[in-house]
Amino acid sequence: MVQMYNLHNHTPFSDGAYTIDELCEAHLKCGWPVAGIGITDHLFATPSSREVHNEKEFDRVFGKEARNYVASVKEARKRWAGKLQILCGCEINWPLNKGQLDMARNMLTGIDYVLFEFVDWAGLTTLANQARRWPCPVGLAHCDVRVQFPNTSLDQVVRTLANARIFYEVVSKLIPLGEHEAWFKVVPSHRVYVTVGTDTHDDLECLKELPQMYEYVVSHGLEQKILIPSIRAETPVPVAP
């Protein structure tokens, strides 16, 4: 039986309505055998009123925030040990941060995986060229391939993901999944891993969609390609002087 993980959830740290503890309680009470959840709050979201020009400024604006975020997830992980596994992910907005990737990558100490949202084809090729340099797995969040890469063949998209080891998120925002059948017929024949998430913000009703997404993934031969990121050992990261 496939272990069920929901790897896309937000908390009040960014734009979610429920705390980590409330999310854990909701998953344990949802009626499905959920083994773990991922917290994926938005990081490095540059305010429009504040431009960040260099690594020192980037650390000053976002460094403490990122470290506090990781610490809060780790504390929750200890509280829920033995009941529910908690992974520490994050979501990065591609248009906002595409010019700051080196700085963001250096501040991911303690982050187990990264979801990139709103990636266009130019962005995907850029990300693919450097994906293996990231310290943890990277994937595409709530990506409707037909919409985000309208002028690129499905075969070219899936080969790009496979070659760069970028995972693809099966998310409730894409339900009904049947509308993406052409894409899910291409994915199984390539070395592309998938994750499952509800992109939880302010409505816990979305948890009801977890079984449907897992059943869809399994029915398309992707059971062995479900990615559960490993919890990373924390290593010191140099801070800009």
* Domain extent listing, the chain: 4-225
pTM of the complete model beyond 0.75: yes
Assess if CATH 3.20.20.140 describes domain 4-225: yes
Alpha-carbon distance of 232 to 112, in angstroms, equals: 6
Q: For each of the chain's 241 residues, which pLDDT tens digit applies? A: 678 999 999 999 999 999 999 999 999 999 999 999 999 999 998 655 567 778 888 888 899 999 999 999 999 999 999 999 999 999 999 998 998 899 999 999 999 999 999 999 999 999 999 988 999 999 999 999 999 999 999 999 999 999 999 999 999 999 999 999 999 999 999 999 999 999 999 999 999 999 999 999 999 999 999 999 999 875 544 444 4
Q: 3-class DSSP state for residue 133?
A: helix
Comparing C-alpha atoms, which of 131, 110, 116 is closest to residue 65?
Answer: 110
